[in-house]
Amino acid sequence: MASRGMLPLLVGMMLLTGVCNTLLTKYQDNQCARDCDNPDPSQRKNFHQPVLQTLQMFVGEMGCWVVMGIAAVYRRYISKSSAGYEALNTDERDDLDTDETDIHGAPTKSDSELKGIRVLLLSLPAICDVCGTTLMNIGLLMVAASIYQMTRGALVLFVGLFSVLFLKRRLFAFQWLSLVGVVVGVGLVGLAGIIWPDQKKIVGVSENANDVASHTFLAAIGVLLIAGAQIFTATQFVLEEYLLERSTIAPIEVVAWEGIFGFIVTLLGMIVLHFAIGRTEAGRYGSLTWWRAGGSGFNFFGISVTRGVSATARSTIDTCRTLFIWIISLGLGWETFKWLQVVGFGLLVYFTFLFNGVVKPPFKFLEVDEEVQELLPEEPIEHQ
């Protein structure tokens, strides 16, 4: 588990890689891939390959094996303190064996290592990642980057509910109120994107199209796809937290294994779709394929935060990066300013922070005397 001193660095890197991940994906969507020399802009075809983007992300995650290999060679042949490193691991493992309960009060299993056949358990969050990421990539084709990211705020709703159902957490009254507030915030953000869609960035409609109904319909579909994808993402977060609490596997190894499983599942899905639906015409895809490799860094830091704090804290930080994405998207001219979006984003951030105990409840009767340890083990993460 990462030390408390490392958490600010992990949080900062999660924000940085998360912002880059979303913006680079949208940039990739906006690049011309076919018929780029056509004088009619409406006939040019952009890079609209959401499944391929998912595959690229898992290729980046598999790159963690290279990092792990280099680290192993360094420890074995170069580092002069490799013996001390092994002793430290042994002590840490002894501490784990000594404790009879984990940070949430559940019995620990000292022999519950994700090795051998048990490593297949990591295929479960990987499959959730495949479904969630692909649906969000499709939705991102239809809405602006900030609308996409704000709609992802629905994640805290599903993470909270699944934590109660599967991790046996307890939610207080102010947290249930927070979930209602998150739904309202996400609804306002989605409504802003539907009423005032950024028409030039919606797939399937030309830049010269005046059919407002088509833009509105596609934006609505995009918002629903992104919101629905949070069910899979929340399941992934909760599964990762459950597995990390009951094993000593390193976060980078989790990302590496999920990269392998996710790559296999996505590739098989692409083969099935190829024979069932057909293939896309050839285009200029080669120079664009490296953009999603940065997703591996975001997932690594996200899993590290999950292990160091909790899945709900990870969803809180994931919400914070929305502000940076929104500001950069406005500066690049990818979207227009919408006041309703500001209101929705404000509600989304406030109620997400309230849910995770970052801010106090607005009313005295909602306050609790004890720390909300079920959702924030040890102590809340400090938000800069």
Residue 189 φ/ψ region, left for φ over 0, alpha for ψ in the -120 to 50 degree band, beta for the rest: alpha
User: What pLDDT score does 284 carry?
Assistant: 57
Where residue 312 falls among pLDDT bands split at 50, 70, 90?
A: low
User: What pLDDT score does 121 carry?
Assistant: 92
Where residue 247 falls among pLDDT bands split at 50, 70, 90?
A: confident
Residues β-bridged to residue 46: 32
Task: For helices 212-245 and 173-195, give the axis angle rounded to 10 degrees.
Answer: 150
pLDDT tens digits for range 169-211: 788 888 888 888 888 988 888 888 888 776 555 444 444 445 5
User: What pLDDT score does 56 carry?
Assistant: 85
pLDDT tens digits for range 295-308: 556 777 777 776 66
Where residue 228 falls among pLDDT bands split at 50, 70, 90?
A: very high
**Which of 29-43, 308-322, 356-370 is predicted least confidently?**
308-322
Q: Which amino acid is at 295?
A: G
Where residue 291 falls among pLDDT bands split at 50, 70, 90?
A: low
Higher pLDDT, 28 or 103: 28
Q: What is the CA radius of gyration of the chain?
A: 22
What's the token pair of residue 47? 């890079």
- Mean pLDDT, range 204-231, rounded to an integer: 75
User: What pLDDT score does 384 carry?
Assistant: 30
Task: For helices 123-140 and 251-276, give the axis angle rounded to 10 degrees.
Answer: 60
User: What pLDDT score does 73 carry?
Assistant: 86
User: What pLDDT score does 276 carry?
Assistant: 85
On the 0-12 / 13-18 / 19+ scale of CB atoms within 10 A, 279 is exposed
- Mean pLDDT, range 283-311, rounded to an integer: 62
List the Cα angle 66/72/78 in 5-degree steps.
Answer: 120
Phi, psi for 336 (deg, rounded to 5): -110, 160
Higher pLDDT, 79 or 29: 29
Residue 333 φ/ψ region, left for φ over 0, alpha for ψ in the -120 to 50 degree band, beta for the rest: left
User: What pLDDT score does 212 carry?
Assistant: 62
Higher pLDDT, 268 or 32: 268
The mean predicted confidence, pLDDT, of the chain is 76
User: What pLDDT score does 91 carry?
Assistant: 44
**Which of 150-154, 197-201, 260-264 is predicted least confidently?**
197-201
Other beta carbons less than 10 A from residue 322's beta carbon? 25
Which pTM was predicted? 0.75
Q: Where are the domains of the chain?
A: 13-34+48-70+120-281+292-366
Q: Which amino acid is at 368?
A: V
User: What pLDDT score does 285 carry?
Assistant: 55
pLDDT tens digits for range 68-122: 888 888 888 776 554 554 444 444 444 444 444 444 444 444 445 677 888 999 9
**Which of 15-19, 105-109, 152-156, 208-212 is predicted least confidently?**
105-109
Whole-angstrom CA distances from 336 to 155, 184, 318, 341 are 25, 22, 23, 10
Three-state DSSP state, 33 = strand
- Mean pLDDT, range 309-320, rounded to an integer: 66
Has residue 375 got a pLDDT over 60?
no
User: What pLDDT score does 207 carry?
Assistant: 47
